[in-house]
């Protein structure tokens, strides 16, 4: 069993295979120097310096050793030969497989401003790996001026950590509000206000047009279409992810906004599976193919694929969910809100904890929970069960949400 990539999905796949009783050799090949680690803290507790590298690892080295899982770090797989059932590593080595799992994740979308100095500037950073954070650490210090390009989750999480450290922060967002792609205007307005109160300068409707550089190639100033000239010591770009599908593409596997797999993680080749951020799967809840970028889906897809490889069929059919931590606030989101016609707020943004229900024709499509983790658990059920709910009931805090969850069918009499 060869697993290409050693991220969250790959690590879970390897250990789940052993838990399921798989006895053959398992090898994880990762281009980073690290065992599988958690990326969410990279824009949260690891960036702030509250936790060290060791705390990022999903499992300690002994777990892999004891489970006889071989790990080849610092090695990029450059090609797959489907007919010979081999992969080639960057250093020329060839490894054979009986089953191959692609867990190659994605890489940050880069700025494309037609100026080759941009992505070489030593103070312009992307954020996906431990290495990226280590590189920016020196510049991420009190008193420095940080400009964040992109008002999505990662940009806003970085802004929150930076403000707590006493860094001067400006966020550039090209759309008319932050988190525009994923939340309702009410939730965006709440986050804009929270960040504004913390001293973050958020500029919406503001497209980046370029930079000014010093003689060493460092960015000194950020330029916008509205004519802003923003002085900067450090720039962090969070404008999305490109799935790493090139290996699969070169091997002729079917692609569809990611490596196309079925509900078990099977690609168009019977001996190759794909899991995590690089894959797109038919999602029963959404009724269409989805490529998700979240830890819960990476883990669950890995478990489903690991089951398939020991002859069990456990389709991945979870309802997508995600979380984001900013300041003292825990944002949890479940479902997909596309096409909603009504937003109902339970609780008040002024109290810094509330729920936003997204409904279409009365059906709860999705819920955002801001620091209401217990009600979020109930909200997950409402979304999964596609409950039809009266918005007046949803907003009425005297009525428990639990009452809206359909009762489980009684067990059949024997
Ligand atoms: P990855 O974790 O990207 O792992 C893929 C690995 O494969 C990488 O190490 C890559 O280098 C390696 N690789 C790629 N190609 C090759 C090759 N050819 N040869 C060898 N190795 C290769 N999700 C949440 O649910 N909640 C959050 O709050 C959250 N916050 C995040 C914050 C940040 C800053 C980031 C970057 C991500 C965050 N995510 C969050 C997303 C989450 O981390 C990803 O969904 C998850 O890591 C996906 O796991 P994966 O294994 O599919 O891919």
What is the spatial order of strands in the sheet that 69-72 belongs to? Answer: 69-72, 26-29, 2-4, 100-102, 272-274
Q: State how far the Cα of 384 lies from the Cα of 117, in Å rounded to an integer.
A: 48
Alpha helix (H) ranges present in 37-184?
45-48, 53-56, 61-66, 130-137, 153-164
Q: What is the pLDDT of residue 318?
A: 86
Question: Domain extents for the chain?
Answer: 2-107+241-309, 118-237, 328-404
**Residue 147: both structure tokens together:** 């400009």
The tally of CA atoms less than 13 A away on the side-chain side of residue 319 is 18
pTM for the model: 0.96
Is pLDDT at 201 greater than 90 in this prediction?
A: yes
Q: Half-sphere exposure of residue 159, counting CA atoms within 13 Å on the CB side?
A: 32
Q: What is the reported pLDDT for 412?
A: 67
Pick the CATH number of 118-237 from 3.50.50.60, 3.30.70.120, 3.40.50.2300, 3.40.50.1820: 3.50.50.60
Third-level CATH fold of 2-107+241-309: FAD/NAD(P)-binding domain (3.50.50)
Pocket probe mutation, ligand 1, options 58, 251, 294, 296, max atoms within 8 Å of Cβ: 294
pLDDT tens digits for range 8-33: 999 999 999 999 999 999 999 999 99
CA of 142 to the centre of ligand 1 (A): 28
- The rounded distance, in Å, linking the Cα atoms of 133 and 131 is 5
Q: Which of 3, 6, 7 to mutate to test the pocket of ligand 1 (most atoms within 8 A of CB)?
A: 7
d(CA 324, CA 268): 34
User: 273-319 pLDDT, tens per residue?
Assistant: 999 999 999 998 899 999 999 999 999 999 999 999 999 999 998 89
Question: In this structure, which residue's CA is closest to atom 36 in ligand 1?
Answer: 128
Separation of alpha carbons 129 and 52, rounded Å: 14
Dist CA 385 CA 387 (whole Å): 5
Indicate whether 410 pLDDT > 70: no
pLDDT value of residue 406: 86
- Cβ of 9 closer than 6 Å to ligand 1, yes or no, is yes
Q: Is the pLDDT of residue 196 over 90?
A: yes
Contact call for residues 374 and 389 (beta carbons, < 8 A): no
Q: Ligand 1 pocket, 127 CB below 6 A?
A: yes
CA dihedral sign of residues 112, 117, 120, 124 = negative
pLDDT of residue 289: 95
* Cα–Cα distance, 172 to 178 (Å, whole number): 9
Please give the structure tokens belonging to residue 144. Answer: 């420095």
Q: Which fold has domain 328-404?
A: Enolase-like; domain 1 (3.30.390)
Q: Matching CATH topology for 118-237 and 328-404?
A: no
ipTM at complex level: 0.99
Which atom of ligand 1 is the closest one to the Cα of 107? 3
Segment 338-368, tens digit of pLDDT: 999 999 999 999 999 999 999 999 999 999 9
């Amino acid at each position: 069993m060869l697993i290409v990539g050693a991220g969250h999905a790959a690590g879970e796949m390897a250990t789940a295979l052993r838990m399921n009783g798989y006895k053959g050799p398992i090898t994880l090949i990762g281009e980073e120097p690290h065992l599988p680690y958690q990326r969410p803290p990279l824009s949260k507790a690891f960036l702030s310096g509250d936790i060290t590298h060791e705390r990022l690892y999903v499992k300690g080295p002994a777990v892999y050793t004891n489970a006889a899982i071989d790990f080849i770090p610092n090695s990029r797989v450059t090609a797959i030969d489907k007919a010979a059932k081999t992969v080639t590593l960057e250093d020329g080595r060839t490894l054979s497989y009986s089953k191959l799992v692609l867990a190659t994740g994605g890489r940050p979308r880069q700025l494309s401003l037609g100026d080759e100095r941009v992505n070489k500037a030593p103070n312009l950073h992307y954020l996906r790996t431990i290495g990226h954070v280590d590189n920016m650490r020196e510049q991420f210090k009190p008193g420095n001026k940080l400009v964040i390009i992109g008002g999505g989750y990662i940009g806003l999480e970085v802004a929150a950590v930076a403000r707590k450290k006493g860094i001067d922060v400006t966020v550039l967002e090209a759309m008319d509000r932050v988190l525009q792609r994923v939340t309702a205007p009410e939730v965006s307005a709440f986050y804009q206000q929270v960040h504004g109160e913390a001293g973050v300068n958020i500029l919406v409707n503001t497209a980046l047009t370029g930079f000014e550089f010093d003689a060493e190639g460092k960015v000194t100033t950020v330029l916008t279409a509205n004519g802003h000239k923003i002085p900067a010591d450090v720039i962090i770009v969070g404008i999305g992810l490109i799935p790493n599908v090139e290996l699969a593409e070169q091997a002729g596997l079917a692609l569809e906004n990611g490596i196309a797999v079925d509900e078990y993680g099977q690609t168009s080749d019977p001996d190759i599976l794909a899991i995590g951020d690089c894959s797109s799967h038919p999602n029963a809840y959404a009724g269409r193919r989805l490529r998700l970028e979240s830890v819960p889906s990476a883990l669950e897809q890995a478990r489903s694929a690991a089951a398939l490889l020991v002859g069990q069929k456990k389709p991945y059919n979870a309802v997508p969910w995600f979380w984001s931590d900013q300041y003292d606030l825990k944002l949890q989101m479940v479902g997909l809100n596309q096409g909603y016609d009504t937003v109902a707020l339970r609780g008040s943004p002024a109290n810094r904890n509330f729920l936003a229900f997204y409904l279409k024709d009365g059906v709860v499509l999705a819920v955002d929970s801001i620091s209401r983790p217990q009600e979020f658990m109930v909200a997950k059920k409402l979304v999964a069960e596609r409950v039809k709910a009266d918005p007046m009931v949803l907003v009425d805090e005297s009525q428990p949400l639990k009452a809206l969850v359909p009762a489980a069918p009684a067990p059949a009499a024997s």
